Amino acid sequence: MKTGLLAMLILGLLAGGLGLSPGQEPLLNDKERRLAELINQTRAENGLGAVEVGASLTKVARLHVGDLTQYKPDEGADSRGEECNLHSWSNRGGWTPVCYTDDHQYASLMWSKPRELTSYTGNGYEIAHFSGLGATPASAIASWKGSPDHLDVILERGAFAGHPWKAMGVGIDGNFACVWFGEIADPAGPAAAGAAPAPPRQETSTDHPDVAAFGAGLVLTAAKTAFRAKDPVSFTLTMTLPGTANLERCRYTIQIYADGQWQKYFQSEKSFFKDLTMSQGHSRTWEWSRVHEDGTHFAKPGKYRIRFRAPKHTSDILVAEFELKD
């Protein structure tokens, strides 16, 4: 009986999250505090003010990290066969499940999570990071600084221009890091800072992460910036960091720039490499046969880009632009 009561208590704590009343805010751990510092440092470098870490949005971030870790909602697909990404939520919690796809078709089901899970009344906007090598504050900020779309969120640019962030929530554990932003102050107040920081120490390179860490060591390059009609359109993937890159479920998409935006032109099969691991210093080169999504081979001249994903290794989408000429 005691064991059953203890299990029910643990489940209740997980479902209800962390206390959000004043004086009972969640304590940020060292990684969360450092990640929040790096977010605000990046904003300061671009002339923006700091964003307060709120208790409600931190609860959402932590719940999402836990859901991604335990139930892996990012590994599924929707009814169209489009892959779920890191903004997805499983059907195993007290929230509306969503398979979030790269075309943002289900965005409202992600934005509403703070209202579903906390007293926060506004939308929430998330940036997320996965690394098979283990998520750290340094790897997360390097990933986001290396991705224009994610950096736009942090710096209130592009599609997020005119969205002055008044609160953010931070969660990081295991292989995942999630940060949520909101346009209203957190009604539950700030998340407490936790234990006092360690005494000052000599700074190292990990305190100033290099954007070269983007991709957890994977680097994508196109053989040329412009390919002629008879040139093979080839790309190279290289592993630059110690350890092994897991290429399971890797896929690439070719996009064409048309009508002022990037549009999907071709998408590869999953795991198109035969050997699904790469070690430091190893490279893979492959060719794209200029095929269109409908199977025809005509690839008209224009501006293109390749987007490569290896979701078992990192959440980052590696991009290389190129042109096709007559």
**Confidence class of residue 209 from pLDDT cuts 50, 70 and 90?**
low
Beta-ladder partners of 19: none
Contact 190, 288 (CB under 8 A): no
For the chain, give the mean pLDDT: 86
Residue 250, phi then psi, degrees to nearest 5: -65, 150
Q: Among 250, 20, 42, 242, which residue's Cα sits nearest to residue 137?
A: 42
Question: What are the residue ranges of CATH 2.60.40.1930 in the chain?
Answer: 215-324
153-177 residue pLDDT tens: 999 999 999 999 999 999 999 999 9
**Structure tokens, 174:** 């295991």
237-256 residue pLDDT tens: 999 988 899 999 899 999 99
Question: What are the residue ranges of CATH 3.40.33.10 in the chain?
Answer: 25-188
Superfamily assignment of 215-324 in CATH? Macroglobulin (MG2) domain (2.60.40.1930)
pLDDT for residue 13 is more than 80: no
Separation CA 105–CA 206 (nearest Å): 37
**Confidence class of residue 211 from pLDDT cuts 50, 70 and 90?**
low
**Confidence class of residue 208 from pLDDT cuts 50, 70 and 90?**
very low
Q: Domain spanning 25-188 has what CATH number? A: 3.40.33.10
Contact 188, 204 (CB under 8 A): no
Separation CA 221–CA 306 (nearest Å): 9
